[in-house]
Amino acid sequence: MSAGKWTADEELLKTFRAVGRASLLVDIQDSHSGNMAVRWADAAGEERIVITATGSQKGELDRSQICFLSPAETDYGYYKASSETDVHARILSLPGVRASMHAHVKEIVIATLDDRPKPAAPPPFVPVDPLGWYHLGGSVPVDWFAVPSGSPEMARTIPERLAANVLTLIWGHGAMARGRTLPEAFFRLCVANNSGAIVRQMEALGVDVAALRARAMAGPGAVFSHAPADYAAYDDARNDFPEEEEIVAEFAKAGHRVFESRLSPFHTGSMSVRGVEAMLYAPKASMPRDIGGPLLKVPLAPGPADDPETALHKAIYAGSDFQTVLHCYVPEAEAQAHFVYPGDPAPADRIVPVDAEGGFQYLVIPVVPPGADAATLVRLLHEYKVVVVRGGGVWAVGAQSLSEVLHHPSSVREICLYRAGAFARGLDLRKMEPERARRW
């Protein structure tokens, strides 16, 4: 390979850097772990594997740490490339796969740890949240490897797993995901980590996760709200309203905050600003800096092609005067929505803040079952501004701005963290909840 080819163009470098930084922000890498790879055609149309250098610090990638390899033969690029290059190369040879990524998705790794003697075949991980269930396929394989990093055993097994799954877990180590683009692979890793976090938080709250899994496997419609739309891999740069520069900036600010504050995994959730006949709609609300998402102008009138998410935005606007809507998948809220008070037969229909700020800002956060209709949601949003749908994320509304609507799920996350923390310390939540909250 000539030296001239050892240079990432701006777009490629930007993507690697952005995904690298984002992966550290959501804590699915340590400072030097993980690796990213894509298949890339150079100007002459020659296919290359582009992969991060071994030991590179993913938060600060520079050009020299983006390696260009031949997919067909060993060349000098392999000196510097990731130790997982063999695994990536085989994954990238799968039909339709143009990107792969390995990350230390600690939440789901912890959620799949067990103390049985090894070697052993761990059971698959079954998500109990809608993102994990629908985007990861309802069941995620877990494999134990004697040498769980860069080994020939991994290079053989993992591509096989990824031929049938979008993501696979390496017991005690991390996950490997495939995608059509690098952001799509990153998306799947984030969703997986989120699923692990939710299971762990549910376990900490005493939720019967096994029973929930059994119900999901019996019929996901009873456990989850609508299925999220399939990940759209190629439209992130689309902007239907470039003339509204100030609003575009507001979407970016809100999207960054959703991502960085972990209010919803990467490129999940949705947000909108209402116009008179159309809404400005970001179907990937959680947007890190430097990785945007599409900004669409969508008619407010219901359309036959509307996915459930878009349709719900429209229904909220049709039934109210709100100007902004945000939907995101706050993991703490999903776990809390399944909390059952000791002695109660079923999860509560409200989350009651036990902290001072949350208690006066909200008093209660209503929780509705996954099948709740739009009219119920709109009614509750009028009264409470934010609603948790069990198995369906957090919906919030604002009278004016995206900033206003963003504050609600952010507050809900804090409220849930305080409740979970108090419960973990053995405190009696019932005693901590304000008396007035019971009347609402």
Q: Closest approach of Cβ 400 to other proteins, in Å?
A: 4
Please tell me whether residue 433 binds other proteins under the rule CB under 8 A.
no
Residue from 90, 313, 407, 419 binding other proteins (CB under 8 A): 407
Please tell me whether residue 75 binds other proteins under the rule CB under 8 A.
no
Please tell me whether residue 54 binds other proteins under the rule CB under 8 A.
no
Please tell me whether residue 320 binds other proteins under the rule CB under 8 A.
yes
**Residue 4 CB neighbour total at 10 angstroms:** 7
Please tell me whether residue 427 binds other proteins under the rule CB under 8 A.
no
Please tell me whether residue 242 binds other proteins under the rule CB under 8 A.
no
Q: Closest approach of Cβ 275 to other proteins, in Å?
A: 5
Q: Which of these segments, 133-141, 144-152, 263-271, 383-391, binds other proteins (CB under 8 A)?
A: 383-391
User: Angle of helix 182-204 relative to helix 209-218, nearest 10 degrees?
Assistant: 130
Size of the site for other proteins (CB under 8 A): 35
Closest-CA residue to 28 (of 224, 216, 185) = 185
- Fill in the DSSP letter of residue 228: P
Please tell me whether residue 338 binds other proteins under the rule CB under 8 A.
no
What part of residues 348-367 is at the interface with other proteins (CB under 8 A)?
360-361, 363
**Residue 251 CB neighbour total at 10 angstroms:** 24
Cβ proximity to other proteins: between 66 and 273 the closer is: 273
The Cα–Cα gap between 354 and 335 comes to 16
User: Between β-strands 142-143 and 167-170, what pairing exists: parallel, antiparallel or unpaired?
Assistant: parallel
Closest-CA residue to 397 (of 337, 334, 317, 301) = 317
By residue count, the chain amounts to: 440
Please tell me whether residue 369 binds other proteins under the rule CB under 8 A.
no
Secondary structure of 37-55 in the HEC alphabet? EEEEECCCCCEEEEEEECC
Please tell me whether residue 425 binds other proteins under the rule CB under 8 A.
no
The Cα–Cα gap between 13 and 144 comes to 33
The Cα–Cα gap between 219 and 80 comes to 48
Please tell me whether residue 301 binds other proteins under the rule CB under 8 A.
no
The Cα–Cα gap between 185 and 30 comes to 18
- Helix, strand or coil, per DSSP, at residue 102: strand
Cβ proximity to other proteins: between 30 and 383 the closer is: 383
The Cα–Cα gap between 337 and 315 comes to 23
Q: Closest approach of Cβ 276 to other proteins, in Å?
A: 4
Cβ proximity to other proteins: between 156 and 438 the closer is: 438
What part of residues 257-296 is at the interface with other proteins (CB under 8 A)?
273-277, 280
Which chain residues interact with other proteins by CB under 8 A? Answer: 241, 244, 246-247, 249-250, 273-277, 280, 320-321, 323, 360-361, 363, 378-379, 382-385, 398-401, 403-404, 406-407, 436, 439-440
